[in-house]
Amino acid sequence: MIDCIIGVMSGKGGVGKSTVSAMIAEELNKKGFKVGIMDADITGPSIPRLLNISHKKATANELGIIPVTTSNGIKVMSLNLLMEHEDQPVIWRGPLIAGVVEQFWADVQWGDLDYLIIDMPPGTGDVALTVMQSIPISGLVMVSVPQDLVSMIVSKSINMAKKLNIPILGVVENMSYVKCPDCGNKIRIFESESTIEFLKDNNLKLLGELPMSKDIANISIEGNDMIEEEIKSIFEQIATNIIEVLS
């Protein structure tokens, strides 16, 4: 039994969707919830590295696939946990990839979870559609960089969610600013006035703003314990906001 399924979506690749998915899972887990994470980004799976389990392999029994569990208890399923070598590419066409996602939903023994986080494939393509149509998603978290929020890139994902009647829980603006190491000022490369307007016009909640930071960039190398406290608390607040919106 899974209580809430949260899809983490982005208009395009490389904006931090997987990083945010992994950190939401970590924060919900820290709050004492039973958490799982499904890496539905089949051709670019990065969850095992972000959660430091890329050396582990998933197994199966007659009941289905058994997810890998992190040292702190998060259940994880990713195609990379089934591949012999993590650098093997998945040279498959859309329907086959979509079939894997369906299996990750139907055949993985998730057990009882309070939250299942789904790291969606970027954009509004074939596999994203399969995820949204075949899994009963409770709500979507939209991850975007500021410059895409006010372009049509995020609007496409928002409109897709609306057409499929899936609520959007809110937006995480990633790489919003850089913090000056000397004076602590937040340097915003892209003016945020239009972001606020965009959120207002679309009736979207801002779940959190993350800086561009070396600590975040190095999560898959150094782990997330090394992240500075100020950034940790932003991730914690994002998780709290998600819980609030869902309840």
> Which residues fall in the annotated binding site for ATP?
11-18
Nearest to 117 by CA among 152, 75, 162, 158: 75
Q: Which stretch binds ligand ATP (CB under 6 A): 8-16, 83-91, 98-106, 126-134?
A: 8-16
Least Å from the CB of residue 220 to ligand ATP: 7
Size of the site for ligand ATP (CB under 6 A): 19
The tokens of 41 are what?
């980004």
Least distance between ligand ATP and beta carbon 213 (Å):
5
| Residue 11 Cα distances to 24, 46, 137, 155, angstroms | 19, 17, 18, 8
DSSP secondary structure letters along 175-191: EEEEE-TTT--EE-SS-
State the Cα–Cα distance between residues 200 and 198, nearest whole angstrom: 5
* Closest to 157 measured CA to CA, from 3, 15, 1, 5: 15
Is residue 19 part of the contact set for ligand ATP (CB under 6 A)? yes
Q: Which of 37, 216, 227, 234 binds ligand ATP (CB under 6 A)?
A: 216
Residue 178 binds ligand ATP, judged by CB under 6 A: no
User: Which single residue brings its beta carbon nearest to ligand ATP?
Assistant: 13
Q: Please report whether residue 38 would count as binding ligand ATP according to CB under 6 A.
A: no
With binding defined as CB under 6 A, does residue 44 bind ligand ATP?
Answer: yes
- Which tokens belong to 77? 């399923």
Compute CA 234 distance to the chain's CA centroid, rounded to the nearest angstrom: 15
The yes or no reply on residue 15 touching ligand ATP (CB under 6 A) is yes
Residues at the contact surface with ligand ATP, assessed by CB under 6 A? 10, 13-19, 41, 44, 46, 122, 174-175, 210, 212-213, 216-217
